[in-house]
């Protein structure tokens, strides 16, 4: 009897356990289905390299080189890249500028903010962008370049593939020993050292530039408007007060432990659910943002620095940004800029070190005139 009672107890426990396991599995499946249902597109952050870019850095192995061997390798690298190799392709034909032409952009670093004064005495705030070692790596005419597959839902795809060409621009030359062989092969035709940063710009075929051509801050001119694209400063996981500017709950009147909480996030009734796009806690920053219509107030031709309007340029200090002609219809170029870019050897007189817009007060002037 004891044995039968024990076996009956064991079977009952096993049956209950199996039943509870099935219930838990069904609950988990339902919860998972509710979480994923209706979520067709996941908003992943743009933290990865673009699909068109090859693997850049290689695995570093400790070679245990002697100082003499290391200096010999550095000397060989300098000798190989000191003289630009002849270009395999013939020079590109330059077109004439007309309104609506799309020029290339440049890659710059955000190096800080600086105040300036106009001739009427008013103060303005500017952001300094330094164009560091920009060169044209390659050019692909319309119809030959491959557009990135699966564009982001907020990014507009290229409407007419046969209307624009693709110009590959690199910035900041560095040691080729740090990169893969395939990545270094991108620079073999142009005779350049490997670049840390690569970017593609869609341009008009008339604005094509010969590979190996350097780009300067004089690519722009004071008074014109530009668009700046960069990655916003990363703040990690933040609450609604810092991320969205919520005011929070009161400090008294019966409020307990909810001083920085978001509060109610939805209504009741038939629409009793959380609406898509509700502002909630989450990761803040590290997103690609473009600020448009920034005026160029000043250009330094010696250090290739551009002073642009405002303090809202995305990114923290020393971050990479992309600068190009504005797309705003009322602020586009109306006069011919340096087309397709600025060539110092073609200018009859060297440019001054500082170029100011007409309304800016030069620091070398004696005083402000009212």
Answer whether residue 255 is part of any domain.
Answer: no
pLDDT at 61: 75
CA distance 178 to 55: 12
pLDDT at 294: 96
**pLDDT tens per residue, range 22-31:** 444 443 433 3
CA distance 308 to 149: 33
Task: Confirm if 153 and 186 have CB atoms less than 8 A apart.
Answer: no
Answer whether residue 51 is part of any domain.
Answer: no
CA distance 122 to 135: 37
Expressed as residue numbers, the domain containing 137 is 67-148+160-234+284-356
Answer whether residue 90 is part of any domain.
Answer: yes
**pLDDT tens per residue, range 267-290:** 888 888 888 889 999 999 999 999
**pLDDT tens per residue, range 46-73:** 555 666 677 777 777 777 788 888 888 8
Beta bridge partners of 320: 109
Task: Confirm if 104 and 302 have CB atoms less than 8 A apart.
Answer: no
The whole model's pTM is what?
Answer: 0.78
Distances 225 to 298, 306, 309, 341 between C-alpha atoms, Å: 12, 12, 9, 16
CA distance 98 to 60: 49
Answer whether residue 366 is part of any domain.
Answer: no
CATH number at residue 80: 2.40.30.10
Answer whether residue 347 is part of any domain.
Answer: yes
* pLDDT score of 229 more than 90: yes
Report CA Rg, the chain. 29
Dihedral sign from CA coordinates of 135, 167, 209, 158:
negative
* pLDDT score of 179 more than 50: yes
* pLDDT score of 246 more than 90: yes
Mean pLDDT of 338-350: 89
Look at the chain and count its residues: 370
Answer whether residue 58 is part of any domain.
Answer: no
Long-range contact set of residues 273-276: C-beta below 8 Å, sequence gap at least 24: none
Q: What is the mean pLDDT of the chain?
A: 81
CA distance 256 to 281: 20
CA distance 143 to 288: 27
Element (H, E) at 321: strand 320-325
Element (H, E) at 313: none
Question: Would you state the torsion angle of the CA atoms of residues 93, 143, 87, 304, taken in this order, to the nearest 10 degrees?
Answer: 70
pLDDT at 49: 60
* Per-residue confidence band for 33, with pLDDT thresholds at 50, 70 and 90: very low
**Backbone angles phi and psi of 86, in degrees to 5:** -65, 140
Mean pLDDT of 318-347: 92
* pLDDT score of 20 more than 70: no
Instruction: Sort strands 225-231 and 236-238 into parallel, antiparallel or unpaired.
Output: unpaired
Answer whether residue 6 is part of any domain.
Answer: no
Answer whether residue 27 is part of any domain.
Answer: no
> Domain tally for the chain?
1
CA distance 56 to 196: 9
DSSP state of 303: T
Task: Confirm if 173 and 154 have CB atoms less than 8 A apart.
Answer: no
Task: Confirm if 139 and 205 have CB atoms less than 8 A apart.
Answer: no
- Which of the two residues, 359 and 189, has the higher pLDDT score? 359
Mean pLDDT of 11-17: 47
Q: Of all residues in the chain, what percent carry a pLDDT higher than 70?
A: 78
Q: Which residues contact 180 (CB under 8 A, 6 or more apart)?
A: 54, 55, 56, 57, 58
pLDDT at 36: 43
């Amino acid at each position: 009897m004891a044995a039968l009672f024990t076996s009956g107890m064991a079977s009952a426990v096993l049956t209950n356990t199996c039943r509870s396991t099935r219930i838990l599995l069904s609950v988990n499946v339902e919860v998972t289905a509710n979480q994923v249902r209706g979520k067709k597109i996941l908003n992943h952050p743009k933290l990865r390299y673009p699909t068109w870019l090859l693997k850049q850095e290689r695995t570093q192995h400790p070679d245990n080189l002697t100082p003499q061997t290391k200096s010999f390798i550095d000397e060989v690298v300098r000798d190989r890249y000191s003289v630009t190799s002849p270009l395999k392709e013939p020079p590109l034909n330059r077109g004439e500028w007309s309104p609506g032409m799309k020029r290339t952009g440049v890659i710059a670093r955000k190096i800080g903010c600086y105040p300036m004064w106009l001739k009427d005495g008013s103060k303005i705030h500017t952001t300094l962008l330094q164009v560091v070692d920009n060169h044209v790596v390659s050019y692909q005419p319309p119809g030959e370049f491959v557009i990135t597959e699966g564009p982001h839902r907020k990014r507009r795809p290229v409407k007419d593939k046969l209307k624009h060409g693709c110009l590959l621009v690199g910035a900041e030359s560095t040691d080729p020993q740090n990169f893969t062989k395939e990545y270094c092969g991108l620079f073999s035709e142009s005779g350049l050292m490997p670049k840390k940063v690569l970017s593609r710009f869609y341009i008009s075929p008339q604005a094509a530039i010969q590979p190996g051509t350097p780009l300067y801050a004089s690519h722009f001119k004071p008074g014109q408007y530009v668009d700046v694209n960069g990655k916003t400063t990363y703040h990690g996981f933040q609450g609604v007060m810092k991320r969205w500017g919520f005011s929070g709950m009161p400090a008294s009147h019966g409020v307990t432990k909810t001083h920085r909480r978001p509060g109610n996030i939805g209504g009741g009734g038939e629409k009793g659910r959380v609406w898509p796009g509700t502002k909630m806690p989450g990761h803040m920053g590290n997103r690609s943002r473009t600020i448009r219509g920034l005026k160029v107030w000043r250009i330094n031709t010696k250090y290739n620095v551009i002073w642009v309007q405002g303090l809202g340029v995305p990114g923290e200090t020393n971050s990479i940004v992309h600068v190009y002609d504005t797309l705003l219809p009322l602020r586009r170029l109306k006069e011919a800029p340096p087309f397709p870019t600025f060539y110092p050897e073609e200018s009859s007189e060297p440019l001054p070190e500082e170029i100011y817009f007409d309304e800016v007060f030069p620091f070398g002037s004696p005083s402000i005139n009212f």
